Amino acid sequence: MAPLNGQPYQQASNPQAFFEEISYLRDALTRIQNEITDIQKLHERSLATIDEGSNSTIQQQLDMKVAETSKLNRDLASRIKNLKQQSINDPDKAPQVGNLDRQFKDTLRRYQSVEAAFQRKTRDQLARQYLIVNPDATEAEVEDATNNANGPVFSQAVNLILPLYISTC
């Protein structure tokens, strides 16, 4: 799908190559936006899942999506930068490249927002779970637990309590 046999736009005098590159970059931007939506859905599934096995599978899928999205982001950033440098003095091309650059930056901001929201929701969830398992915990203890958490608190509590329960039966 990449124009010019997979090579980024490099010919300032070829308008067809320019428009093919713009089309390719718009398609790539749409792919990145779809990847971000997929990442957001995986985040939601991760927060809704209690089972560690399912969470592990979701985390693997999430890691693959994040790596793929990062690769697409780097490629798109490089190609936009190249296109921007080559069309800076062309009043017909510069606005199109500028618009594409703004859309890309908006997409990056959305991605950062999705990641920040997930981190906040994860911390909130861990704090709620910690307070259920340790109802007398102080704010400092909850803060310390959420900063040093190694997974869902419920699962950790069950893993600690279950062997004790079985040994008393």
Q: Does some domain include residue 156?
A: no
Dihedral of alpha carbons 70, 76, 78, 80, sign: negative
* Cβ neighbour number for residue 81 with a 10 Å cutoff: 13
Number of domains in the chain: 1
Q: Does some domain include residue 78?
A: yes
Q: Does some domain include residue 50?
A: yes
What CATH number does the domain containing 75 carry? Answer: 1.20.58.70
Q: Does some domain include residue 151?
A: no
CA 9 to mean position of chain CA atoms: 28
- The reported pLDDT for the residue numbered 13 is 63
Q: Does some domain include residue 30?
A: yes
- The reported pLDDT for the residue numbered 135 is 87
What is d(CA 40, CA 154) in angstroms, rounded to the nearest whole number?
A: 23
Model pLDDT for residues 85-138, shown as the tens digit of each residue? 988 888 889 999 999 999 999 999 999 999 999 999 988 988 888 888 888 888
Q: Higher-confidence residue: 79 or 150?
A: 79
pTM: 0.77
Range of the domain at 38: 15-122
Q: Does some domain include residue 44?
A: yes
Model pLDDT for residues 138-166, shown as the tens digit of each residue? 898 888 878 776 555 444 444 444 444 34
- The reported pLDDT for the residue numbered 66 is 94
Q: Does some domain include residue 128?
A: no
Q: What is the percent of the chain with per-residue pLDDT over 70, rounded to a whole number?
A: 80
- The reported pLDDT for the residue numbered 7 is 52
Q: Does some domain include residue 70?
A: yes
